């Protein structure tokens, strides 16, 4: 059934998250970006909303049934509308929990889910990106080879959020030409976690490179053990996650300039009265909606148990391109004021570039 | 609850329409592009098909119960607007100019259904009705029209010139916009049903165009043209302010998504054509690899397909809102702003990428490039759509944002 309306429950979740974001994130986002720190209380408050544990059975500490991909997309949009770095950090455990939930063996679920679905926010993370030109998430350079009844991992990862704080990192590697996920414990001598990275965007999100040198893991450290996992499916879900965050970042930029353009007076009139300004804002308005609708469409397919390969791919392609355009307009509407860090539009501009470049920063 | 999956029923319906377009439109697409102004007689097949129907009388039992606003659970339904959007896209995948030439499905028919009285629908419902708003001096600024209507006894007397009227020659009647009180500005603008053959109503000429050549576009002269008093659509009363004019403009909230759907249809035809060319050369489209690792043509293909998805979703949303009694003035303009522009760009790019195959009149790609351009012009240009969207989101009136 084609339905564009938000249900009562969805509206409730959305409003709750929006309120939290307004109280804890919006006014602090600049400070967080400058200092590079997200207050632990903020992450804890969002954690307590159950954004990462909806859908996890209660016996493992989760919230039980719920957490449809569409609901999660709504949540990610709201969080990223406050700040994308917070959206990534706050929902980071999902990137570990969700693949486990979908593809982990009962033993793996029993071992890890209770560890990460407790009352306290506890970082665990996923390593997909690799630090080289022409990186492609479906053509990984990091390899896994069978060895001693387990696997040996070799390669380099980058942009691994909270890698230095996580006790477990799920690492994507190519095993016999097929991408798979492996759980690596932080103390593993074959895994070296680099210094904190400095990147274009997401200043307040701590991330690092991760080097794997003959990193030995056991056979039951492979997600799904011998059956493995459907990596493409996980990629579909993370791509939709990025699109949902793109919607949020772009909406923030749009909402900011919509207000600003009516207040800023030049040549005796608000700049909003000029078509070249107003038309940029009009385009921002419908492109934000377009990104959101593409996100919802891809998420709807997942929710119905359908393959979302095509839809998530096109949505990410679209969101990556338009997010940049929208946030570019966002800076332009403010002129020189948009270029200085006192205003949030330059942050949106930097963060939006990550939508096309990054993979696996959030999951629906 | 949000669910953007296309119901299977709709998909089947759309495939059927596409097959119809494939078998009935595509074979004559080139023929009538070249035989400009000639009525495509093959379309008589559609003459008695219910394309634009009188809406079913509402079940009084249902209307009595307070309607749940859409957006609340259970309020959503798939209705006539969305249905028309799906079939329009499918048929325009075949040929947009032929769709515009479908008998009894003119813009005037839409206006009649939207605001006509039962008696008027009874008298004109079976006719093919065109819509005449545009004048030599009034295009985008349709509120400034100078064609006049004066009530004399039981008749309106109309005088003026109307240009760019779609289906000018083929239609049986025309909805003519005229002012009953020039001093009242927009509030004085009313629409009138004028039948062909009425003395003083003359088809002056037909245009030669860039594209949609199978659709005839013409000029009418109204010279003391007398029509019955009850041929006015809506009320004759000149209300204060712009409310009355807004009412007239409301039909556009339904027709703009239709134009967007036409744009989507042409764009999808062009994209399918490119896909065929690509697959002939052995390219495999698997929706997986980083686009930067693909060749530029494959990358362009994916980008255009993503744009088409966006165009469609914006269009469906606008129509879905109309079906669910939600005001869609903003969303209707968003859909047309996006689809009108992107269809133009997509068909240009497909031509370019296809090279000689895109340039040659042996194939239809060049025709789609010419056809699509009108989607960014009629029913309000792209700029006018942006103006509407901007005024809406910025909450500015038409004197603040001109
Ligand atoms: C094939 C065809 C079929 C048509 N069918 C019909 C029909 O059936 N019935 C009918 O009534 N009309 C019809 N039209 C007319 C059509 O709706 C008008 O051509 C259109 O609305 C634009 O008006 P115009 O051509 O006078 O351009 P203008 O209004 O002169 O516009 C010229 C340019 O200025 C821009 N512009 C104008 N005002 C503004 C503004 N305020 N801000 C920014 N930019 C502005 C426009 O976007 C455009 O780019 C048809 C036209 C064609 C070509």
Distance separating alpha carbons of residues B300 and B291, to the nearest angstrom? 9
Which architecture characterizes domain B128-244 according to CATH? Beta Barrel (2.40)
Determine the pLDDT at residue B391.
Answer: 98
Domain B8-115 class in CATH: mainly alpha
Beta-carbon pairs below 8 A across chains A and B? 170
Matching residue, tokens 């576009």: B217
CATH fold match for the domains B128-244 and B248-394? no
Confidence of residue B158 (pLDDT cuts 50, 70, 90): very high
Pick from B251, B221, B237: which is nearest to B81 by CA?
A: B251
Task: Determine which residue's CA is closest to atom 35 belonging to ligand 1.
Answer: B383
Q: Where are the domains of chain B?
A: 8-115, 128-244, 248-394
Distance separating alpha carbons of residues B379 and B258, to the nearest angstrom? 10
Model confidence over A23-38: pLDDT tens digits? Answer: 999 999 999 999 999 9
Determine the pLDDT at residue B323.
Answer: 93
Strands A265-266 and B232-233 turn out to be unpaired
Q: Inter-chain contact B72–A10, Cβ cutoff 8 Å?
A: no
From residue B24, alpha-carbon distances to B41, B71, B263 in Å are: 11, 39, 19
pLDDT at A71 over 50: yes
Q: Does A301 touch chain B (CB under 8 A)?
A: yes
Q: Inter-chain contact A232–B288, Cβ cutoff 8 Å?
A: yes
Q: Inter-chain contact B78–A1, Cβ cutoff 8 Å?
A: yes
pLDDT at B65 over 70: no
Task: Determine which residue's CA is closest to atom 52 belonging to ligand 1.
Answer: B164
The token pair that represents A111 in the structure block: 């071992």
Q: Under CATH, which number does the domain A8-116 receive?
A: 1.10.540.10
Quickly list H helices, A117-198: none
Determine the pLDDT at residue B76.
Answer: 47
Q: Does B65 touch chain A (CB under 8 A)?
A: no
Number of H helices, E strands in chain A: 11, 9
Q: Which of A345-359, B99-113, B267-281 has the lowest mean pLDDT?
A: B99-113
- The fold of B248-394 is Butyryl-CoA Dehydrogenase, subunit A; domain 3 (1.20.140)
Q: Residue B336 CB: number of other CB atoms within 10 A?
A: 35
Q: Where are the domains of chain A?
A: 8-116, 125-221, 231-357
Q: Does A357 touch chain B (CB under 8 A)?
A: no
Distance separating alpha carbons of residues A340 and A252, to the nearest angstrom? 17
Q: Inter-chain contact B394–A261, Cβ cutoff 8 Å?
A: yes
Confidence of residue A312 (pLDDT cuts 50, 70, 90): very high
Model confidence over B284-305: pLDDT tens digits? Answer: 999 999 999 999 999 999 999 9
Determine the pLDDT at residue B237.
Answer: 86
Confidence of residue B64 (pLDDT cuts 50, 70, 90): very low
Matching residue, tokens 């600049």: A30
pLDDT at B80 over 90: no
The token pair that represents B318 in the structure block: 């606008």
Determine the pLDDT at residue B78.
Answer: 63
Higher pLDDT, B374 or B72: B374
From residue B114, alpha-carbon distances to B111, B179, B204, B229, B247 in Å are: 5, 20, 29, 19, 10
Q: Which of A2-6, B115-119, B277-281 has the lowest mean pLDDT?
A: B115-119
Q: Could you give the 3-state DSSP secondary structure of residue B22?
A: helix
B101 close to B35: Cβ distance less than 8 angstroms: no
A220 close to A108: Cβ distance less than 8 angstroms: yes
Mutate to test the pocket of ligand 1, among B145, B341, B377, B397 (most ligand atoms within 8 A of CB): B377
Q: Which of B123-127, B159-163, B347-351, B359-363 has the lowest mean pLDDT?
A: B123-127
The token pair that represents A347 in the structure block: 């942050």
pLDDT at B212 over 70: yes
Angle (deg, nearest 10), helices A69-82 and A8-20: 30
Distance separating alpha carbons of residues B274 and B89, to the nearest angstrom? 18
Mutate to test the pocket of ligand 1, among B133, B139, B214, B256 (most ligand atoms within 8 A of CB): B139
pLDDT at B120 over 90: yes
Neighboring chain B residues of A262 at a CB cutoff of 8 Å: 394-396
Distance separating alpha carbons of residues B366 and B359, to the nearest angstrom? 6
**Percent above pLDDT 70 for chain A:** 100
**Ligand 1 site residues, Cβ closer than 6 angstroms:** A 275; B 107, 130-134, 139-140, 164-166, 209, 212, 217, 374, 377-378, 381, 383-384, 387, 402
Q: Inter-chain contact B389–A262, Cβ cutoff 8 Å?
A: no
The residue in chain B having the minimum alpha-carbon distance to the alpha carbon of residue A297 is B4
pLDDT at A157 over 50: yes
Determine the pLDDT at residue B52.
Answer: 59
Pick from A283, A313, A277: which is nearest to A297 by CA?
A: A313
**What distance, in Å, lies between the first and last C-alpha atoms of chain A?**
21
Model confidence over A172-230: pLDDT tens digits? Answer: 999 999 999 999 999 999 999 999 999 999 999 999 999 999 999 999 999 999 999 99
Task: Determine which residue's CA is closest to atom 24 belonging to ligand 1.
Answer: B139
Looking at domain A231-357, does it have CATH number 1.20.140.10?
Answer: yes
Matching residue, tokens 């990596």: A231
Which architecture characterizes domain A125-221 according to CATH? Beta Barrel (2.40)
Contacts of residue B376, defined as CB under 8 A and 6 or more positions apart, other chains included, come to B263, B340, B341, B343, B344, B382
Q: Inter-chain contact B3–A2, Cβ cutoff 8 Å?
A: yes
Strands B129-132 and A191-196 turn out to be unpaired
- Average pLDDT along chain B: 91
Higher pLDDT, B176 or B251: B176
Determine the pLDDT at residue B249.
Answer: 77
Pick from A99, A244, A124, A116: which is nearest to A179 by CA?
A: A99
- Number of Cα atoms under 13 Å in the Cβ half of residue A360: 29
**Percent above pLDDT 90 for chain B:** 81
Neighboring chain A residues of B291 at a CB cutoff of 8 Å: 317
ipTM above 0.90, yes or no: yes
State the smallest CA–CA distance between residue B32 and chain A in angstroms. 36
Task: Note the pTM of the prediction, 2 decimals.
Answer: 0.95
Model confidence over B233-284: pLDDT tens digits? Answer: 988 888 877 666 776 777 788 889 999 999 999 999 999 999 999 999 999 9
Confidence of residue B50 (pLDDT cuts 50, 70, 90): low
Mutate to test the interface with A, among B74, B390, B397, B400 (most CBs of A within 10 A): B390
A136: DSSP letter: -
Pick from A362, A338, A358, A361: which is nearest to A349 by CA?
A: A338
Neighboring chain A residues of B383 at a CB cutoff of 8 Å: 275, 279
Distance separating alpha carbons of residues A114 and A106, to the nearest angstrom? 12
DSSP per position, A143-156? EEEEETTEEEEEEE
B253 close to B322: Cβ distance less than 8 angstroms: yes
- Average pLDDT along chain A: 97
């Amino acid at each position: 059934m084609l339905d564009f309306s938000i249900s009562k429950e969805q509206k409730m979740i959305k409003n709750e998250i929006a309120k939290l974001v307004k109280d804890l994130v919006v006014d602090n986002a600049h400070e967080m970006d400058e200092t590079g720190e997200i207050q632990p209380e903020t992450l804890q408050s969002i954690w307590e909303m159950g954004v990462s544990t909806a859908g996890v059975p209660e016996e493992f500490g989760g919230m039980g049934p719920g957490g449809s991909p569409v609901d999660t997309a709504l949540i990610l949009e709201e969080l990223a509308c406050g700040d994308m770095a917070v959206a990534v950090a706050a929902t980071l455990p999902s990137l570990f929990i969700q693949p486990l939930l979908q593809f982990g063996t009962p033993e793996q679920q029993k071992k890890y889910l209770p560890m990460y679905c407790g009352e306290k926010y506890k970082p665990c993370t996923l390593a997909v990106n690799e630090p080289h030109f022409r990186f492609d998430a479906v053509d990984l350079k990091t390899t896994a080879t069978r060895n001693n009844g387990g696997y040996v991992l070799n390669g380099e990862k980058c942009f691994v959020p909270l890698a230095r704080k996580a006790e477990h990192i799920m690492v994507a590697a190519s095993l016999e030409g097929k991408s798979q996920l492996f759980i690596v414990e932080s103390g593993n001598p074959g895994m070296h976690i680099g210094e904190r990275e400095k990147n274009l965007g997401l200043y307040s999100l701590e991330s690092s490179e991760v080097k794997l040198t003959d990193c030995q893991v056991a056979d039951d450290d492979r997600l799904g053990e011998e059956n493995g996992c459907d990596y493409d499916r996980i990629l579909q879900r993370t791509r939709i996650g990025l699109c949902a965050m793109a919607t949020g970042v772009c909406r923030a930029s749009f909402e900011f300039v919509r207000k600003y353009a009516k207040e800023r007076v030049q040549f005796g009139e608000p700049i909003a009265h000029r078509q070249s300004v107003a038309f940029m804002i009009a385009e921002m308005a419908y492109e934000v909606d377009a990104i959101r609708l593409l996100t919802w469409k891809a998420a709807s397919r997942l929710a119905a148990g359908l393959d979302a390969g095509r839809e998530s791919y096109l949505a990410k392609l679209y969101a990556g391109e338009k997010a940049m355009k929208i946030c570019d307009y966002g800076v332009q509407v403010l002129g020189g004021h948009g270029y200085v860090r006192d205003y949030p539009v330059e942050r949106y501009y930097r963060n939006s570039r990550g939508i096309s470049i990054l993979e696996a920063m959030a999951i629906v | 609850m949000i669910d953007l999956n296309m119901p299977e029923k709709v998909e089947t319906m759309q495939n059927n329409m596409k097959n119809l377009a494939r078998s009935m439109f595509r074979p004559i697409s080139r023929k009538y592009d070249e035989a400009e102004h000639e009525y495509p007689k093959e379309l008589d097949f559609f003459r008695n098909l219910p394309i634009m129907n009188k809406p079913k009388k509402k079940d009084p039992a249902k209307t009595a119960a307070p309607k749940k606003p859409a957006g609340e659970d259970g309020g959503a339904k798939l209705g006539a607007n969305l249905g028309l959007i799906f079939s329009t896209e499918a048929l325009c995948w075949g040929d947009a100019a032929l769709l515009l030439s479908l008998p009894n499905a003119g813009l005037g028919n839409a206006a009649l259904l939207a605001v006509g009285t039962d008696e008027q629908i009874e008298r004109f419902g079976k006719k093919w009705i065109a819509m005449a708003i545009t004048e030599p001096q009034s295009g985008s600024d349709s509120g400034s029209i100078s064609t006049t209507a004066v009530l004399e006894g039981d008749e309106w007397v109309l005088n003026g010139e109307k240009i760019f009227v779609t289906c000018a020659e083929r239609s049986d009647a025309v909805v003519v916009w005229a002012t009953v009180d020039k001093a009242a500005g927009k509030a004085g603008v009313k629409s009138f049903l004028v039948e062909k053959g009425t003395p003083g109503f003359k088809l002056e000429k037909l245009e030669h165009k860039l594209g949609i050549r199978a659709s005839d576009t013409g000029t009418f002269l109204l010279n003391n043209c007398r029509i019955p008093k009850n041929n006015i659509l809506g009320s004759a009363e000149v209300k204060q302010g712009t409310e009355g004019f807004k009412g007239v403009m409301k039909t556009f909230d339904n027709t703009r998504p239709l134009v967007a759907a036409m744009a989507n249809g042409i764009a999808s035809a062009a994209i399918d054509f490119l896909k065929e060319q690509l697959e002939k050369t052995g390219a495999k489209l698997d929706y997986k690899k980083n686009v930067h690792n693909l060749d530029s043509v494959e990358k362009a293909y994916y980008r255009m397909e993503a744009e088409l998805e966006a165009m469609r979703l914006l269009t469906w949303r606008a129509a879905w809102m109309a079906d669910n009694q939600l005001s869609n003035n903003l969303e209707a303009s968003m859909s047309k702003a996006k689809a009108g522009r992107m269809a133009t760009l997509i068909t240009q790019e497909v031509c370019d990428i296809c090279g000689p195959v895109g340039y040659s009149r042996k194939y239809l790609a060049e025709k789609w490039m010419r056809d699509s351009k009108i989607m960014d012009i009629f029913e309000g240009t792209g700029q006018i759509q942006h103006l509407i969207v901007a005024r809406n989101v910025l909450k500015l009136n038409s004197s603040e944002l001109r």
